Amino acid sequence: MSTASGNTVGMDSSMALQKQMLARHYDRLSRAEEEGRACAYTFVPGNLTELLLSFDILPVLPEINALQNAMRKKSRDYIATAEKLGHSEDVCTYVKCDLGMAKSGNVGPTGERLPDPSVLLLSYTGCFTFMKWFEILKQEYDCPIAMLHVPYQGAGAATRNMRDYVVEQLKENVIPQLEAVTGKRYDEDRLSEHLAASARAEDDFVAVLESAKHKPSPIDAYFGGVYYISPIFTAFRGTPEAESYYETLREEVQERIGGGLGPITPEGTLPEERYRLVVEGPPCWTNFRDLWKMFYDEGAVVVASTYTKVGGIYDNGFRHDPSRPLESLAEYCLGCYTNLNLPSRTDMIVKYVEDYDADGFLVNSVKSCNSFSAGQLLILRQVEERTGRPGGFFESDLVDPRYFSGANVKNRLESYFQMVEQKRSAVRSLS
Amino acid sequence: MSESTAELQSLLKRAEALYHDMHFGAVRAWKDAEPGRRAVGILPVWFPRELIHAAGMLPVSVMGGGDDVEIIKGDAYFQSYICHLPRSTMEMSLNGGLDMLDAMIFPSICDVIRNLSGMWQLLFPDRPAWYFDMPQSSDAIGRRFCGRELAELRDALGALAGSSIEDDVLRESVRLYNENRRLVEALYETRRERPWLCPTSELYVVLRAGNVLPVEEHNAMLRSYAELAGGAERHAIDNARVVVVGSFCEQPPLNLIRTIERAGCYIVDDDLLLGNRLVRGDVPDSDDPLDTIVGTFIDHAREASFLYRPADKGAELVQGLEACRAEGVLFCAPSFCDPALLDQPMLVEAVEEAGIPHTSFKYAENTGQFQVIREQAGTFADSIKLWGAA
């Protein structure tokens, strides 16, 4: 998922705020063991942050650690460590990066040691690998593991049976384990307060995402988007800090709209919006800035992305509901992007292309993530057929730098933008 | 040649022909034999075939195209880092090779098969396709969830068949599949005790025939094979006793199995075609057969990498190795197979702790070069025989 690395990026105050939040979180984690605070290792999709907060448990997100390590150029060595231990070159590099880090002293991306987990909270949502990942970690740590199996929306809908299953697991498995780990009783009122805070932040977050419908778009919903999703996808959903962050961010975006400004980028504000794109797939974290620069150089703005929905889809109207806390958490988990079937994902992308008046659609297909990648080539065809707008495709990886070929990606992107231009010329000549 | 030898060869010839027939002639013939017959495809690894049978339809296990399908269109749908089975399945689907299937079931096993279910829905919107989420919560909660999911599928299958699935019919189907499981287990037992009588390259094609034949016919084939192979004049040789692990979904080509055997190995256990044996023992007779199927799965499924098993990882594998007096393990997984390859380091650790030698290699269902594998498996077998450890 997102988060600013230590790199200098053109910054609004919301970015500075977010950086401070993350630094404080890692600092809290580094002191957790001496302060006797419980920590849960858990995943971004289908995360139960509000529930953890209601038990005063600090979330540790292995995916975030992996991507942060990649942005800081540390992932290569960690992956090599895991592969030396027998982990296949074929499998997810998030897993190997995380395991390599654990085997190297579990020093987090900011240089502070991460606490061992008090509990592994396996939210098995939208990704098979999650299940194996925590089975592997269970061998590393002597701690309980709580598993929440979130059924896949195979038929394109979350059914009553699925929701009941998730709620029953929360009530009968997950919550009792969190009670045992912390020695605290489940406090539904407290959970509801966090959920109410989540819903307020979600309103502001959606306003930010939808601001990209303006021309020029005041945000980049992929590269910039990963910064915007960071608090709500990670340890902060349901906190006053997150509420404050999204209020600030929304105000800033409004100002940019008022000033007719494009998105802020590492190179500064994008001077001219030449291409509006929808992007499917996670970013390549090892070369995040390089890739963003390629888009910037072409005047390409991502107006909507699917990656910014892996930790929850809010622009379809979903909000956490404090009056139905566990049901609402279940519905949230069921609705995360990679838990949707391919027809639903395709529909969503088509809608984005149309609603955001995009010139086209690009897939960044990452080797590590079959949950995202399997079927993307069909999605590409379907979206092209249904929207009549050109699709493009390039490959990279999440955190393994061996799979990023800058020249190839640049070549692909340049060809793609030429295709968009040709399409425009054809439309102009017809009209 | 004796009559029984000829009979055995004829049976094996038929089984191997079924294995190679990627046009599914047997399924088409079954459908053509009576108007209105329907067949339902099942992707690996497990779905209770009893339910399809009880609806009067033919369950057909689709396990990719092996090395018998040339991939042209299928590669256009999958990136290079995705396993081979979905490519060949797509190839066959687009070429009409699976057009005799009236519906498809995609059990939860990994993200690729999961997403393949959506691809099928997009490409073949007129043919029903169901995703079956096996419960990972192996308790009463999982049992309730799975029971309700299967009840919905039971209704859907009944609707496809044109009549609802009654409990007494389902009980009869369960009985037939119990018999099938017992026959398969008995053959595994024979192979475990006297592997020279029941080589895996034979057993595999005989079991594989069950993918396309009605269970009644397959049961008859299993009985014949057991009798003919059990009585065959075959002599033990000094092979190493090995277990193959990791081949439960995308299957190795038959020649790879033969290669392992020719390299000096008796395969005395494996997870090939695991769906046939995932649930141990019989599904008991009961008033509520559907619930009993689910309960048997929850309580008696073997350890498998696509099922959540956070504790004692590999303990069941080690127990199995001891039970079949295995001298070594061949970790033999398809390239890019997340479940097998993510599991493998944990299983390796368990096997090493038990002091059992192991080696590993990867394959694709259309692997055509076996020399390297033969050398590796041969060296492994030799090392076991010469020094008692690899």
pLDDT band at A12 (very low <50, low <70, confident <90, very high): confident
Domain annotation covers residue A235: no
pLDDT of B97 > 90? The answer is yes
Q: Can you tell me the distance from the alpha carbon of B85 to that of A158, in angstroms, rounded to the nearest whole number?
A: 28
Closest residue to B145, CB basis, from A88, A124, A161? A161
Boundary of a domain, candidates B205, B236, B267: B236
Q: Looking at the structure, do residues B232 and B332 belong to the same domain, yes or no?
A: no
In contact, B378 and B350? CB cutoff 8 Å:
no
Residues of chain A found within 8 Å of residue B131, distances taken between Cβ atoms? 152, 154-155, 341
pLDDT by residue (tens digit) across A34-44? 999 999 999 99
pLDDT band at B388 (very low <50, low <70, confident <90, very high): confident
Please give the average per-residue pLDDT across A406-418, as a whole number: 96
Tokens of A66: 């992996």
Residues of chain B found within 8 Å of residue A374, distances taken between Cβ atoms? 78, 82, 86, 111-112, 114-116
Q: For B277-292, b where at least 16 C-beta lie within 10 A, e where not — what string?
A: bbbeebbeeeeebbbb
Q: Looking at the structure, do residues B293 and B381 belong to the same domain, yes or no?
A: yes
Domain annotation covers residue A140: yes
Domain annotation covers residue B30: no
pLDDT by residue (tens digit) across A70-101? 999 999 999 999 999 999 999 999 999 999 99
Amino acid at B342: L
Residue A303 three-state SS: strand
Please give the average per-residue pLDDT across B184-194, as a whole number: 97
pLDDT for the residue numbered A11: 56
Q: Looking at the structure, do residues B126 and B171 belong to the same domain, yes or no?
A: no
CB atoms within 10 A of CB B193: 12
Q: In total, how many domains does chain A have?
A: 1
Q: Looking at the structure, do residues B139 and B274 belong to the same domain, yes or no?
A: no
| Phi, psi for residue B269 in degrees, rounded to 5 | -160, 160
Query: CB–CB of B339 and A135 under 8 A?
Result: no
ipTM: 0.96
Residues of chain B found within 8 Å of residue A370, distances taken between Cβ atoms? 82, 110-112, 115, 338
pLDDT for the residue numbered A430: 79
Give A 100-159 residues with CB within 8 A of chain B. Answer: 124, 127-129, 131-136, 138-139, 145, 147, 149, 151-152, 154-155
pLDDT band at B387 (very low <50, low <70, confident <90, very high): confident
Give A 173-202 residues with CB within 8 A of chain B. Answer: 173
Task: Express as a percent the part of chain A with pLDDT over 90.
Answer: 92
Q: Looking at the structure, do residues B173 and B277 belong to the same domain, yes or no?
A: no
pLDDT by residue (tens digit) across B126-166? 999 999 998 898 899 999 999 999 999 999 999 999 999 99
Give B 261-320 residues with CB within 8 A of chain A. Answer: 305-306, 308-311, 313
Kindly identify which residue of chain A lies nearest to residue B333, measuring between CA atoms.
A88
Domain of A159, in residue numbers:
12-182
Give B 111-140 residues with CB within 8 A of chain A. Answer: 111-112, 114-119, 121-123, 130-133, 135-137, 139
Q: Looking at the structure, do residues B229 and B242 belong to the same domain, yes or no?
A: no
In contact, B82 and A374? CB cutoff 8 Å:
yes
Strand partners, A396: A366
Tokens of B234: 């075959």
pLDDT band at B371 (very low <50, low <70, confident <90, very high): very high
DSSP B219-279: HHHHHHHHHHHHTS-------EEEEEES-SSSPPPHHHHHHHHHTTEEEEEE-TTGGGTSB
Q: Looking at the structure, do residues B114 and B129 belong to the same domain, yes or no?
A: yes
Please give the average per-residue pLDDT across B224-234, as a whole number: 95
pLDDT for the residue numbered A431: 74
Please give the average per-residue pLDDT across A24-39, as a whole number: 95
State the smallest CA–CA distance between residue A341 and chain B in angstroms: 6
Domain annotation covers residue B31: no
Q: Looking at the structure, do residues B247 and B361 belong to the same domain, yes or no?
A: yes
Domain annotation covers residue B378: yes
Nearest partner of A108 among A237, A246, A292, A235, judged by Cα: A235
Domain annotation covers residue B74: yes
State the smallest CA–CA distance between residue B338 and chain A in angstroms: 6
pLDDT of A10 > 90? The answer is no
Q: Looking at the structure, do residues B316 and B198 belong to the same domain, yes or no?
A: no
In contact, B108 and B131? CB cutoff 8 Å:
yes
State the smallest CA–CA distance between residue B10 and chain A in angstroms: 41
Q: Can you tell me the distance from the alpha carbon of B94 to that of A390, in angstroms, rounded to the nearest whole number?
A: 24
DSSP A379-429: HHHHHHHHH---EEEEEE-SS-GGG--HHHHHHHHHHHHHHHHHHHHHHHH
Query: CB–CB of B144 and A343 under 8 A?
Result: no
Q: How do A39-42 and A58-60 pair as beta strands?
A: parallel
In total, chain A counts a number of residues equal to 431
pLDDT of A348 > 90? The answer is yes
Mean pLDDT for all residues in chain B:
96
Domain annotation covers residue B33: no
pLDDT of B390 > 90? The answer is no
Q: For B344-372, b where at least 16 C-beta lie within 10 A, e where not — what string?
A: bbbbbebbeebebbbbbbbbbbbbeebee
Domain annotation covers residue A240: no
Domain annotation covers residue A56: yes
pLDDT band at B1 (very low <50, low <70, confident <90, very high): confident
Q: In total, how many domains does chain B have?
A: 3
Residues of chain A found within 8 Å of residue B342, distances taken between Cβ atoms? 88, 91-92, 95, 129, 132-133, 136
Domain annotation covers residue B32: no
Query: CB–CB of A154 and B130 under 8 A?
Result: yes
Q: Looking at the structure, do residues B258 and B362 belong to the same domain, yes or no?
A: yes
Query: CB–CB of B336 and A152 under 8 A?
Result: no
Residues of chain B found within 8 Å of residue A124, distances taken between Cβ atoms? 136, 308
CB atoms within 10 A of CB A76: 18
Q: Looking at the structure, do residues B255 and B319 belong to the same domain, yes or no?
A: yes
Q: Can you tell me the distance from the alpha carbon of B41 to that of B48, in angstroms, rounded to the nearest whole number?
A: 12
For testing the chain B interface, which of A94, A125, A132 should be mutated: the one with the most B CBs within 10 Å? A132
Domain of B99, in residue numbers:
38-161
pLDDT band at A202 (very low <50, low <70, confident <90, very high): very high
Please give the average per-residue pLDDT across A162-179, as a whole number: 98
pLDDT band at A270 (very low <50, low <70, confident <90, very high): very high
What CATH number is associated with residue B226? 1.20.1270.370
Q: Which residue intervals of chain B are DSSP H helices? A: 3-20, 25-32, 49-54, 85-94, 111-123, 140-161, 167-193, 200-208, 215-230, 254-262, 289-300, 315-323, 338-353, 371-387
Residues of chain A found within 8 Å of residue B135, distances taken between Cβ atoms? 149, 165
Domain annotation covers residue B29: no
Domain annotation covers residue A194: no
Could you tell me if B152 lies within 8 Å of chain A, comparing CB atoms?
yes
DSSP state of A113: B
pLDDT of A317 > 60? The answer is yes
What CATH number is associated with residue A140? 3.40.50.11890
Give B 48-87 residues with CB within 8 A of chain A. Answer: 76-79, 81-82, 86
Please give the average per-residue pLDDT across A286-312, as a whole number: 97
pLDDT for the residue numbered B212: 98
pLDDT by residue (tens digit) across B197-217? 999 999 999 999 999 999 999
Nearest partner of B332 among B253, B238, B240, judged by Cα: B253
pLDDT for the residue numbered A7: 36
Residue B334 three-state SS: strand
Nearest partner of A362 among A325, A340, A339, A394, judged by Cα: A394
Q: Looking at the structure, do residues B200 and B92 belong to the same domain, yes or no?
A: no
